[in-house]
């Protein structure tokens, strides 16, 4: 993790590394768009609607990863007390909430095109919505504690401690979401790529999906880095003493 921490340093070298990573993320995103939008064939049953998979699936998977970072960073903070980990947890939670919302939105559109309805009380959909509410609540908790105590979010243990606990508890929903299609009767499609008993996915579809997941992962990584940098800068400004005013001259 030390290399990641170095990437958020407010130095010219770290800034250059972040720019390079951002350019790579942009290139991967462009390649994933071409592969998923044009090169991969449409699904034999779902037709063109299946192309939403190249946005829906990466958003869901990278949201899982973001919430895993919240868990890991929160635990690292509780063990070592380093507030840098708390800032990573906050940034990852913000990214995870946005991606979960994207997954729900694209899933709703996909369901409308394939199932004929925007929403169904399906275990996967309901558990994903609960996951979104849980981490939105995590972010709301941080803001509320900061406002009530006057603590700086990302720079105060009074916010970091309860947030780390809530972030860890919230992660319990991730396996519930992922395995909901196996544990309960569900309309949602079960695993395809990682399910050897099912017919194999078309090679072009599989390549486009893996490319989209890689692009989404790198984009999310860049956003987390940039968000942590901005938090660091804001905390540094808040901590700096206000300039003294020159005494007014009388007469």
User: CB-based contacts of 17: which residues, under 8 Å, 6+ apart?
Assistant: 7
Taking Cα atoms as reference points, which of 63, 7, 93, 47 lies closest to residue 213?
63
Cβ(49)–Cβ(113) under 8 Å?
yes
**Segment among 74-83, 85-94, 228-237 with least mean pLDDT:** 228-237
User: CB-based contacts of 177: which residues, under 8 Å, 6+ apart?
Assistant: 64, 124, 127, 128, 131
Task: Tell me 36's DSSP state.
Answer: I
Taking Cα atoms as reference points, which of 97, 92, 176, 82 lies closest to residue 133?
97
Highest mean pLDDT among 12-21, 88-97, 101-110: 88-97
Is the confidence at residue 145, as pLDDT, over 90?
A: yes
User: CB-based contacts of 118: which residues, under 8 Å, 6+ apart?
Assistant: 108, 109, 111, 112
pLDDT of residue 224: 96
Task: Tell me 188's DSSP state.
Answer: S
**Segment among 22-26, 148-152, 181-185, 236-240 with least mean pLDDT:** 181-185
Q: What is the pTM of this model?
A: 0.86
Is the confidence at residue 194, as pLDDT, over 60?
A: no
Over residues 39-59, the mean pLDDT reads: 90
Q: How many CA atoms lie within 13 A of 34 on its CB side?
A: 5
**Segment among 8-17, 111-120, 147-156 with least mean pLDDT:** 111-120
Longest CA–CA span in the chain (Å) reads 91
pLDDT of residue 243: 52
- d(Cα 20, Cα 14) in Å, to the nearest integer? 10
- d(Cα 229, Cα 224) in Å, to the nearest integer? 9
pLDDT of residue 196: 46
pLDDT of residue 251: 42
């Amino acid at each position: 993790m030390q290399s990641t921490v170095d990437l958020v340093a407010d130095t010219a070298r770290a800034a250059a590394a972040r720019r390079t990573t951002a350019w790579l993320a942009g290139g991967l995103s462009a390649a994933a768009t071409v592969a998923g939008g044009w090169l991969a064939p449409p699904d034999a049953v779902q037709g063109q609607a299946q192309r939403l998979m190249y946005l829906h699936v990466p958003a869901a998977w990278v949201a899982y990863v973001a919430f895993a970072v919240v868990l890991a960073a929160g635990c690292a903070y509780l063990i070592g007390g380093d507030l840098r980990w708390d800032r990573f947890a906050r940034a990852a939670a913000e990214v995870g909430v946005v991606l979960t919302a994207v997954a729900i939105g694209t899933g709703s559109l996909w369901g409308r095109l394939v199932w004929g309805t925007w929403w169904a009380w399906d275990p996967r959909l309901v558990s994903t919505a609960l996951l979104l509410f849980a981490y939105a609540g995590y972010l709301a908790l941080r803001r509320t504690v900061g406002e009530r105590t006057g603590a700086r979010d990302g720079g105060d243990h009074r916010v970091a401690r309860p947030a780390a606990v809530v972030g860890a508890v919230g992660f319990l929903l991730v396996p519930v979401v992922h395995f909901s299609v196996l544990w309960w009767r569900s309309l949602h499609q079960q695993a395809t790529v990682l399910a050897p008993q099912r017919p194999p996915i078309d090679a072009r579809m599989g390549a486009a999906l893996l490319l989209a997941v890689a692009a989404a992962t790198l984009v999310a990584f860049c956003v987390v880095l940039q968000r942590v940098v901005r938090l660091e800068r804001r905390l540094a400004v808040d901590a700096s003493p206000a300039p003294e005013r020159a005494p007014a001259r009388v007469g």
